[in-house]
Amino acid sequence: DGGITQSPKYLFRKEGQNVTLSCEQNLNHDAMYWYRQDPGQGLRLIYYSQIVNDFQKGDIAEGYSVSREKKESFPLTVTSAQKNPTAFYLCASSWGTGSYEQYFGPGTRLTVT
């Protein structure tokens, strides 16, 4: 089945540690995205990538880093510089820009204590 997978579903880390969230898609989509969602809030864009080896900052990129070495993979690293890392992280992909819809993964809930 085609889709987007994110792992793990739940992740716990100590403050001061970097953590990498996985996102893989087998939809052959060019564009991939990372969003953050806090309780009771909508989604906010962290980073996006339109093609391999290229990515752009979204609205809240500080404290995060990404890479796009393969078309199907777009991992997100939450660094120790991110002041409030505890959140629900969602990865998405789409055929391209503009009107195309985005397909979302199931999300990773990160808790940092």
Partner 1 sequence: DAKTTQPNSMESNEEEPVHLPCNHSTISGTDYIHWYRQLPSQGPEYVIHGLTSNVNNRMASLAIAEDRKSSTLILHRATLRDAAVYYCILRDGFGNEKLTFGTGTRLTIIP
Contacts with partner 1 by CB under 8 A lie at: 4, 31, 33, 35, 40-45, 48, 50, 56, 58-59, 88, 90, 92, 97-99, 101-107, 109
Q: In the bound complex, what is the minimum distance in angstroms from residue 16's beta carbon to partner 1?
A: 27
Count of beta carbons in the 10 Å neighbourhood of residue 97? 10
Spatial neighbors of 110 by CB under 8 A, at least 6 apart, are 11, 12, 13, 19, 21, 78, 85, 86, 87, 88, 89
How far apart are the C-alpha atoms of 66 and 48, rounded to whole Å? Answer: 9
Nearer to partner 1, 28 or 97 (CB): 97
**Which residue, 61 or 80, is less far from partner 1 as judged by CB?**
61
Q: Which residue has the tokens 């980073």?
A: 47
Closest distance of CB 82 from partner 1, Å = 20
CB of 91 to partner 1, least distance (A): 8
